C-alpha cells in the first residue's frame, strides 16, 4: 500500500468517518492500491495532465445513527457546513501540481485532529461555506463550481463540520461527529478522475444511565450508584461526569472509574485518579454537593484507544465498539427526604454536549424525563391482644425481605435479617425491633425509618419493588409468641412518606389459669390417684391371666 493510501486510511480512522472506500473521502480505489505507489512526478504526470481544475465537484454526506457501516437508520434534519480549505499558497489545492500532493501528504500525516483545529482557528478557508440539512434519506449534497462559486478550483480539500445542536443531542441521545476532511477528486478502478465523493459520518446513540443499589439502605447506611455511558467514536476534547447529590446524601470516598466491554471477555480497565482523571467531591460531614470526575489528556487517550484499539502496542489491543465508561460510588443516607423520595441525576459532558442519566422520553420537553430514584417508607408495628398497652411492651421482632409464593400465596423470607433506623433524627440501626409505648398513640409499637420500598434505575427503564415481612422472636410477658410470618402492607398518606404497617396479635397464656384450683399439692394428688388406678388395673389383669393358665 502506498504512503498516501495509508495516511488517508489513518485519517479516516482518526476522524471516525465511514467513507466510500478505505480512505477518508476516497472511493474504493484508494484502498485497493490502484493509486500510484509513490507520489513521484513520473507517476503522476499522466494523470495530473487530465485533471480538470475547473470541473464541478460534488460532496454527498449520508447520515445514519449507529456504528460505521450501519445504514439502517437514516437521520434527517442534521445540518452540515462544507468549506474549501486553503493550501499554503492562500488559494485552494492545485492538484495539477506535485507541490499540492506533497502538501496534502503533510496534512494527513501526524496529528490530523490538531491540524483540523488549526485550520478552523486560523480560518484557513477559500470562499464561503455552504450549509444544508440532511433529508428524509439522511443525506445532504453540496456542489462547488469555480465558475459560479467563490472557490479557487473545483477539486480540492474540503472541511465538513456537523452542526448538531444541544437539543438534538439531548433529545436523541446522539454523539457529535468531529469535523473531518474530504478530498476530491479521486481515482476509480480504471484510473479516471472522479469528481464526486460520499462520506458517512456516524452518530452513535449515547445513552447515559444510572443504576441504583439500595438493598442495604436505611438511615445511616449507604446507597450505591453506577453511572455509565457508551464510549463515543468521536475524538474526545472534553470528558466530564458530574453528579449533584441531594442534601440527604453524604458522599463516601470510594469512587472508582473503569472502562468495560459489554460483549467481549476483556476484563475491565481501571483508571487512576490524578493520572487519568481528577476528582472533586464533598468532604466528610458536608452532605449534598457535587461529585465531579474530569478526564485528563491521558485519560481521554485511554478511552479513545479502548474504543478503537491500538495496533502500535505489542500485543495489539483490540477495539471495543461496545465500550462503556463506568463510574461507581456510594453515599450515606443522613436524613429522610421529603415525602420519602430520594432522586439523583448525573450528567456526562462529552465535547461540550450534555448527556443526562434521566430516562429520556425522546421529546424536547425534559420535564417528563424520570431520574434514578429510591422511595423510602417508614415502619409501624403495632401489638394487639390486650386493652392494657403496657402488657404488650417488650415484644421483639426481626425484619426480612420476603416474596409471596405463587402456588400457596404464602410469604417466604429472603436472605438475612435487616436493620432499620429507630429514629428519624439521630437513628441507631437495630436488627431487634422491640415494642414500647408510643407517646402519640398510647399503643405498644415499634417505629422504624427509611426502608427502600422501590427503586428506579434508568439503565433498565423499570421500577423494582421490595416487600418486607416480620416475625416475632419474643412475646410480651404472659403472652404466647405469634408464630406466623407477617407481611407489611404499604400505605401512602397524602403529602407524606409511605408507611409499612402490620398489626401483630398475641394471645394470653390463659390455659395455665384453667389448671385445678388446688394448687401444686392438688396436682400431685390427682397424679397419685391416677397412678394408683393404673397399678390396680395392671394387678387385676395379671391375676386373671394366672387364673386361666
Same domain? For 180 and 220 the reply is: no
Joined grid coordinates for residue 329: 460510588
Please report whether residue 489 resides in a domain.
yes
Check: CB of residue 343 under 8 Å from CB of residue 307.
Answer: no
Closest C-alpha among 408, 335, 345, 404 to residue 376: 335
Same domain? For 357 and 220 the reply is: yes
Same domain? For 159 and 213 the reply is: no
β-strands 57-62, 196-203 pairing: parallel
Instruction: Classify the C-alpha dihedral 327-328-334-340 as positive or negative.
Output: positive
State the number of CA atoms in the 13 A half-sphere of 205 facing the CB: 11
Same domain? For 215 and 356 the reply is: yes
> For residue 161, what are the domain limits?
50-203
Same domain? For 226 and 142 the reply is: no
Same domain? For 431 and 468 the reply is: yes
The domain boundary, picked from 331, 365, 399, lies at 365
User: Is the bond into 185 cis (omega within 30 degrees of 0)?
Assistant: yes
Q: Domain containing 350 — which CATH number?
A: 2.60.40.740
Tens digit of pLDDT per residue, the chain (549 long)?
334 433 343 343 333 344 443 333 333 222 222 222 223 333 444 555 578 999 999 999 998 876 656 778 888 888 999 999 999 999 999 998 889 999 999 998 877 888 998 999 999 999 999 999 999 999 999 999 999 999 999 999 999 998 876 666 655 667 778 889 999 998 888 888 999 999 988 777 788 899 999 988 988 899 999 999 999 888 899 999 999 999 999 999 899 999 999 887 788 999 999 999 999 999 988 999 999 999 999 999 999 999 888 766 556 678 888 899 999 999 999 999 989 999 989 999 998 888 889 866 554 555 557 899 999 999 999 999 998 989 999 999 999 999 999 899 999 999 999 999 888 777 788 999 999 999 999 999 999 999 999 999 987 767 889 999 999 999 999 999 999 999 999 999 988 999 999 999 988 876 545 555 455 555 555 556 666 666 666 556 555 555 555
User: What is the domain count for the chain?
Assistant: 3
Joined grid coordinates for residue 319: 477495539
Same domain? For 179 and 217 the reply is: no
C-alpha to C-alpha distance for 79 and 95, rounded to whole angstroms: 29
- What is the pLDDT, as a whole number, of residue 532? 65
Same domain? For 84 and 161 the reply is: yes
- What is the pLDDT, as a whole number, of residue 55? 95
Closest C-alpha among 144, 189, 173 to residue 30: 189
C-alpha to C-alpha distance for 158 and 155, rounded to whole angstroms: 9
Instruction: Identify the residue whose cell numbers are 415484644.
Output: 395
Check: CB of residue 261 under 8 Å from CB of residue 333.
Answer: no
Same domain? For 197 and 215 the reply is: no
Same domain? For 155 and 237 the reply is: no
Amino acid at each position: 500500500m502506498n504512503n498516501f493510501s495509508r495516511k488517508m486510511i489513518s485519517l479516516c480512522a482518526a476522524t471516525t468517518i465511514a467513507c466510500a472506500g478505505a480512505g477518508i473521502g476516497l472511493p474504493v480505489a484508494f484502498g485497493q492500491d490502484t493509486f500510484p505507489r509513490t507520489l513521484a512526478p513520473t507517476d503522476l504526470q499522466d494523470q495530473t495532465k487530465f485533471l480538470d481544475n475547473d470541473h464541478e465537484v460534488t460532496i454527498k454526506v449520508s447520515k445514519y445513527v449507529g456504528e460505521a457501516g450501519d445504514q439502517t437508520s437514516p437521520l434527517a434534519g442534521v445540518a452540515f457546513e462544507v468549506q474549501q480549505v486553503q493550501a499554503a499558497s492562500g488559494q485552494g489545492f492545485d492538484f495539477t501540481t506535485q507541490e499540492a500532493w506533497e502538501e496534502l501528504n503533510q496534512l494527513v500525516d501526524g496529528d490530523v485532529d490538531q491540524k483540523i483545529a488549526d485550520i478552523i482557528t486560523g480560518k484557513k478557508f477559500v470562499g464561503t461555506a455552504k450549509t444544508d440539512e440532511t433529508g428524509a434519506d439522511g443525506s445532504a449534497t453540496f456542489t462547488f463550481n469555480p465558475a459560479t462559486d467563490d472557490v479557487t478550483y473545483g477539486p480540492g480539500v474540503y472541511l465538513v463540520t456537523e452542526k448538531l445542536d444541544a437539543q438534538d443531542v439531548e433529545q436523541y441521545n446522539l454523539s457529535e461527529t468531529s469535523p473531518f476532511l474530504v478530498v476530491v477528486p479521486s481515482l476509480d478502478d480504471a484510473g479516471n478522475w472522479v469528481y464526486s465523493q460520499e462520506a458517512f459520518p456516524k452518530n452513535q446513540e449515547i445513552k447515559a444511565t444510572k443504576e441504583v443499589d439500595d438493598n442495604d439502605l436505611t438511615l445511616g447506611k449507604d446507597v450505591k450508584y453506577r453511572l455509565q455511558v457508551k464510549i463515543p467514536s468521536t475524538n474526545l476534547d472534553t470528558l466530564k461526569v458530574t453528579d449533584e447529590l441531594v442534601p440527604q446524601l453524604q458522599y463516601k470516598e470510594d469512587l472508582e472509574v473503569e472502562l468495560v466491554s459489554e460483549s467481549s471477555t476483556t476484563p475491565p480497565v481501571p483508571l487512576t485518579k490524578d493520572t487519568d482523571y481528577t476528582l472533586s467531591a464533598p468532604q466528610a460531614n458536608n452532605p449534598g454537593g457535587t461529585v465531579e470526575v474530569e478526564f485528563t489528556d491521558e485519560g481521554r487517550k485511554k478511552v479513545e484507544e479502548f474504543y478503537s484499539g491500538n495496533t502500535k502496542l505489542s500485543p495489539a489491543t483490540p477495539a471495543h465498539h461496545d465500550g462503556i465508561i463506568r463510574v461507581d460510588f456510594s453515599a450515606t443516607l443522613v436524613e429522610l427526604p421529603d415525602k420519602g423520595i430520594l432522586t439523583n441525576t448525573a450528567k456526562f459532558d462529552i465535547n461540550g454536549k450534555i448527556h443526562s442519566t434521566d430516562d429520556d422520553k425522546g421529546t424536547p420537553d425534559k420535564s417528563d424525563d424520570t431520574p434514578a430514584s429510591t422511595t423510602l417508607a417508614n415502619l409501624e408495628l403495632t401489638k394487639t391482644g390486650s386493652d392494657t398497652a403496657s402488657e404488650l411492651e417488650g415484644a421483639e421482632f426481626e425484619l426480612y425481605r420476603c416474596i409471596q409464593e405463587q402456588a400457596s400465596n404464602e410469604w417466604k423470607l429472603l436472605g438475612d435479617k435487616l436493620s432499620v433506623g429507630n429514629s428519624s433524627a439521630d437513628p441507631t440501626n437495630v436488627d431487634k425491633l422491640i415494642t414500647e409505648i408510643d407517646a402519640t398513640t398510647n399503643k405498644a409499637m415499634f417505629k422504624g425509618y427509611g426502608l427502600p420500598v422501590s427503586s428506579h434505575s434508568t439503565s433498565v427503564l423499570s421500577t423494582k419493588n421490595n416487600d418486607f415481612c416480620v416475625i416475632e422472636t419474643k412475646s410480651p410477658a404472659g403472652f404466647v409468641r405469634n408464630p406466623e410470618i407477617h407481611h407489611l402492607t404499604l400505605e401512602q398518606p397524602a403529602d407524606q412518606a409511605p408507611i409499612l404497617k402490620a398489626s401483630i396479635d398475641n394471645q394470653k397464656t390463659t390455659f395455665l389459669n384453667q389448671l385445678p384450683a388446688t394448687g401444686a399439692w392438688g396436682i400431685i394428688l390427682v397424679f397419685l390417684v391416677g397412678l394408683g388406678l393404673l397399678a390396680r388395673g395392671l394387678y387385676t389383669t395379671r391375676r386373671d391371666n394366672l387364673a386361666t393358665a
